[in-house]
Structure 1
Amino acid sequence: MHRPGLGALLRPPHRADARRNYEALLAAAAAVFGADGPQASLDKIARTAGVGNATLYRHFPTRRDLLVGVCVEEVEALCAQGEQLAVDQAPGPALLGWLHAFIEHVTSRKGLAEALMTGRSEDSAVIAACQGAIGETAAALLAGAQRAGTVRDDLEVADLLALVNAIALTTESTGAQHADRLLRLLYQGIGPRGAQALS
């Protein structure tokens, strides 16, 4: 189920066969855009999904419609991952695990986000909805870690996301190992004053 802020941006078909094609196209687009960038061949996306071009254009009339679909689906998956981590893990590790996923999301999808930011004026609604959903997920995980006493209580979610975004952008060319090191150093700074930092 789509989150309230994102659901209005996508209208998946109700028929089972059409829904399968729609989902196959989004999965193929995520893979092809990830490998080839936002200007990737739409023909290649249709072939990867196992459908014809007519089916692609019926579901996604323009390249930007497909970019929006991929962006929204991936943000929803990122937010769902945060919710699941909150159920499966203690608050501190849940926040840390989600921030790792957030960094990976930012670095792997930078080109898609930039394509939307430089596009149509209506794309600003997409960006705002995605940012809102990410902010809500981060806020919930941060609040849980603060209640558990594993993160300093004066840290605000906007500050946390700005710091983690900076790590993602700084380590784009140096890799995941460097990002992991910087994230762990960050945790030493946001841990409770005078207490042991998150493990």
Structure 2
Amino acid sequence: MAEQVVSSDATNIECSIKRQGDFYCINGKKWWTSGAMDPRCRVLIVMGKTDYTAPKHKQQSMMILVDTNTPGIHVKRPLMVFGFDDAPHGHAEILFENVLVPAKNILLGEGRGFEIAQGRLGPGRLHHCMRLIGAAEREMGMMEQRALKRKVFGKLIAEQGSFLSDIAKCRMELEKTRLVVLEAVDQLDCLGHGQGLD
């Protein structure tokens, strides 16, 4: 769940999760809440700050709301992502106003939210990189096929010097990217993720 602040840095989260006896009280606004528009969605996982004075990566916690109908949860509207609404899954803007959640619903304990997020996001981001490398490889193949079939200025595109130069540059960029992602995956395998959080 993103917030109004534009950032991929989870330490910028402002949503408040405050302990009140046997409950936590959640206040804040979340944007692009994945899956919230799906009619089957009954559980929200919310990341917010439980301790604004703790070290930077220990301020956040994760709560699980068992019921999306908990009083104070307002699903405001569906949001577009790059012009797509992802129906029926859908991403939503959600407002949390004094939402009370049993204290036992906290995941792993206070201050562990950033740790939980990194455990998922680190490998997840690399997965996106791998998918995009695959998409780029497919596009290169399509470009090559077109260049071998279409003629311009009396020659196949594949015979044009500028095309050969451009496709060579594309190949080098793709291979560099593949090697960087491979190195990152190897580092995750060897060192684990979530390093350097203290």
- Give the TM-score taking structure 2 as reference length: 0.27
Question: Higher helix fraction: Structure 1 or Structure 2?
Answer: 1
In terms of Rg, which structure is larger? 2
Question: Higher strand fraction: Structure 1 or Structure 2?
Answer: 2
- Give the TM-score taking structure 1 as reference length: 0.27
